[in-house]
A and B are shown apart, each in its own frame.
Chain A
Amino acid sequence: MAVMTYSQALNEALREEMRADPRVFVMGEDIGLYGGVFRVTQGLLAEFGPERVRDTPISEAAFIGMGVGAAMAGMRPVVELMFMDFALVAADQIVNQAAKLRYMSGGQVSVPIVIRAQQGGGRGNGAQHSQSFESWLAQVPGLKVVAPATPKDAKGLLKSAIRDGNPVIFIEHKLLYNTKGEVPEGELTIPIGKAEIKRPGRDITIVSFSRTLLFALEAAERLAQDGIEAEVVDLRTIEPLDMQTILESVRGTARLLIVQESHSNCGIGAEIIARVYEQAPEALVAPARRLGARHAPIPVAEALENAVLPQTTDIVRAVEEMF
C-alpha cells in the first residue's frame, strides 16, 4: 500500500492508462505546461508529449465536441473541465451529443469519452464555481456518472472509466484533491456501478458520495459515541445506481439518510428514497430523510456557504432526530 493524495492517485491512473493504451489522450485548459489547476495532469506533458497532452483554448463546447468526434473515430479521450460549472457551456455536446449519438445511430457508433470535472463548494468559490451537477447528469440516458471519495476509488474508477466504451462523467471534488489515503500497489480497477460499505453499522444507513462521504464518516464516528452505529454506504457511482447494496443495508438497519452536497431539490437523494419505498416499502421503521444543499445559489462568505451546504453537524442532528 502506498499513501497518496487524491490528485496523485488520479495522476497515476492517467499515466498508467496512457502507457498501456496509445488511444488514450488528455485535453483541457491549462493541463499541459501548467499541469492542471489541481495538479492532476502534472508531468504528463513531459512523459507523453503535446500530441497526447493537449492544452486547449477556453472553448469547452469545441474541445468536448472534438473529444466526442475523436472517440467515435476510435480514440479514448479524457477531457478535463476545470470546473463542473463550465459543463453548461458545453451542455449540448454532453447531453445532446455524447449521450445520444450511439442511440440515434442505432448502435453504429460508440463514444468512449471520459469527461473529468471537479465540483462542489466549501472553498468560497461562489455561485459559478461551486455547483454540483451529478443529479442532473444522472437524469440523462446514455451517460455514466461516477463520483469517488477516496484516492483508491479515484484511481480505480478513473481506470475503469477510461476503459469503458461509453461516455463517463467523472466527478472529482475540489476539496478532495489534497486528502490522503492508501492505494494498493499495482493494477487497480474499481467497477463502475458498485457502491461500497465504508463503515458497517446496524442502526441506520447513511448513503453518501464524494466529499460529503467524509462528513458522513465523521458523523458516524460522533454518533458511535452516543451509541448509534451508522452504516456508511459510499455510492461511488451515481448512474447506474447500485440499489442492491443500498437495499441490503437498509434491510439491516431499517433507517435511511442520504447526504449529498448538490441541491436536495429533485436530487439523487430523492431518487434513492423513492426507489427504496418502491422496492422495499417494508424495510423502514422511520421515514427516510435526505440532506443536501438548501435551495440557494452557493455564496462566498464562509458563514453563508456553510448555511447552504450540508455540514457534519447537520448529519449528526438529522440522524439523532430519526430515533
Chain B
Amino acid sequence: MPLAPERLPEAYRQMLIIRKFEETIRDLYQQGRIRGSFHPCVGQEATAVGGCWPLRRDDAMSCTYRGHGHALAKGLSPRAAMAEMLGKATGCCKGKGGSMHFTDIQNGVLVANAIVAAGLPHAAGFALAAQMQGSDRIALAFFGDGAVNQGVFHETMNLAVVWNLPLVLVCENNLYSEMTPYKETTSVHALRERAASYGMRAVGVDGNDVEQMYAAVEEAAARARQGEGPTFIEAMTYRLWGHMMGDPEVYRTREEVAQARENEPIVRLRRRLLALGHTAAELDRLEAEAAAVIDDALQFAESSPVPRPEEAFTDILI
C-alpha cells in the first residue's frame, strides 16, 4: 500500500525535523560542543522516513553511524537524541553511545552500529527470534553501499534466505563508500544484483522519493510478515554533505552536489505537496514546527545534567 497522500505533510515535517537536527549538530560541532564523530544524513531523509514508517513500533530497525534520521523516524525522541549528542545524562544512551550508537529499544531502534555491515546480523537475529517466537514482528536493516563488500553482509544474505527470515534489507546507495566512489571498488554497479546470487527478492527504488521508498518497504515488510521471506531494497540517494565533519570532499565536484540539491528529498516533497494543492504558507508552518521541535530538544539537552563519572562503570554487565 502506498503512503496515503494525507500523510505527506507529516512526512514533510518529519524529514525537516531530521534535517534541522543535523543542521543543529553541525553548528554545535563547529562550536566545539560535540565530541567524537558526526556522519550527517542530510539528503537521505526520505530513505529514513519512507523506510521506517511502514514498520510497526515493535518491529526492529538496525542502522549505522549515519543513523540519526533512521532513529528519529522510528520514534526516538529528538530530546533524547540531542542530549546524547551533547553527552548528557538524559541522552538516549546516557552519554555512553553518542552519535554513532543511538538506541531506543521501546521504539524498536536497535543499537546503531559504527562497524560497516555489523548491524545486518543483529536485524537478522531479531528476525530469527521473531520467527521462533511465533510473533509477526519483522526486522529491517539500513546499511550503505559500502556494506555490500563486507563479508558479514554476504553471510547474512545467505542465511536470511536459507532460513526465510522476516527481514527487509535496505541498502542506501549514496554513491560513495565513505570517500571513495562505490563504482571504483564494487564489482557490480546495480547493487541489487548481488541479491540474485542468494536467491533473494530484490527491488530498486528512488530513495529520494519518500512515497516510492515507503511503498517498496511497505510491500517488503508485508511479505516478510506473511512468511514470504527477506527482500533486498536498493534505494538510490545522495549524501549532500561530507562523509563526516571536516571532509574536504575532493572526490566530487561542486557541480555534482549542486545538481543533487535539485533532486534532494525535501525539495522534491515540497514540490509534490504544492502540486497536490497545499499552500506555501502551510508548508512553511510545518517547517517552523520542525524547527520548534529541534529548539525544544536543544534547550532540553543544554539544561540537562552531565553524567556522574561513576556512570562510566554501570551498564557493562547485567
Contacts and interface: CB of A to CB of B under 8 A. Distances in A.
B187 interface: no
Interface stretch (A95-103, A248-256, A289-297): A95-103
Interface string B70-94: 0000000000000000000001111
B318 A102 contact: yes
Interface of A: 25, 51-52, 56-57, 59, 61-75, 77, 92-93, 96-97, 101-110, 112, 141-142, 144, 164-166
A103 B96 contact: yes
Given A75-B133, A97-B113, 12 more contacts: A62-B156, A65-B156, A66-B125, A69-B125, A70-B132, A71-B125, A72-B111, A73-B129, A92-B115, A93-B152, A105-B105, A166-B317
B274 to A, nearest CB: 41
A103 B105 contact: no
6 contacts: A59-B159, A61-B152, A69-B126, A96-B118, A109-B110, A166-B318
A57 B110 CA distance: 25
B317 A144 contact: yes
B36 to A, nearest CB: 12
B126 A72 contact: yes
B133 to A, nearest CB: 7
- Can you list the 4 inter-chain pairs with the closest CB atoms, starting with the nearest? A69-B125, A65-B121, A62-B155, A73-B129
B60 interface: yes
Contact of A75 (B113, B132, B314): B132
Contacts of B123: 69
B292 interface: no
Nearest to A74: B129
A77 B156 CA distance: 17
A93 B115 CA distance: 10
Contacts of A63: 121, 155, 159
B101 interface: yes
Contact of A69 (B101, B124, B158): B124
B127 to A, nearest CB: 8
A73 B152 contact: no
A6 B291 CA distance: 64
B122 interface: yes
A101 B156 contact: no
A141 B126 contact: no
Given A57-B159, A106-B97, A110-B318, A101 B128 contact: no
Interface of B: 60, 62, 91-97, 101, 103-105, 110-111, 113, 115, 118, 120-130, 132-133, 139, 151-152, 155-156, 158-159, 162, 314-318
Contacts of B105: 105, 108-109
A49 to B, nearest CB: 11
Contact of B129 (A57, A62, A70): A70
Contacts of B132: 25, 51-52, 70, 75
Contacts of A66: 121-122, 124-125, 128, 156, 159
A69 B128 contact: yes
B317 A65 contact: no
Contacts of A59: 155, 158-159
Contacts of B95: 106
A65 B104 contact: no
A65 B103 contact: no
Nearest to A97: B118
Contacts of B96: 103-106
A65 B125 contact: yes
A75 B129 contact: yes
Contacts of B91: 106
Contacts of A106: 91-97, 103, 315
B151 to A, nearest CB: 6
Given A69-B129, A108-B105, A141-B316, A62 B122 contact: no
A102 B316 CA distance: 6
B125 A92 contact: no
B130 to A, nearest CB: 7
A92 B118 contact: yes
A19 to B, nearest CB: 16
Contacts of A75: 128-129, 132-133
Given A66-B128, A72-B122, A106-B94, A56 B103 contact: no
A273 B123 CA distance: 42
Contacts of A108: 92-93, 103-105, 111
Given A57-B158, A102-B316, A65 B111 contact: no
A102 B121 contact: no
B125 A105 contact: no
Nearest to B121: A65
A73 B151 contact: no
Contacts of A73: 60, 125-126, 129-130, 133
Given A106-B92, A109-B105, A166-B317, A68 B122 contact: yes
Contact of B111 (A51, A52, A104): A104
Contacts of B155: 57, 59, 61-63
Given A57-B162, A65-B156, A104-B96, A70 B125 contact: yes
Contact of B115 (A51, A96, A112): A96
B168 to A, nearest CB: 14
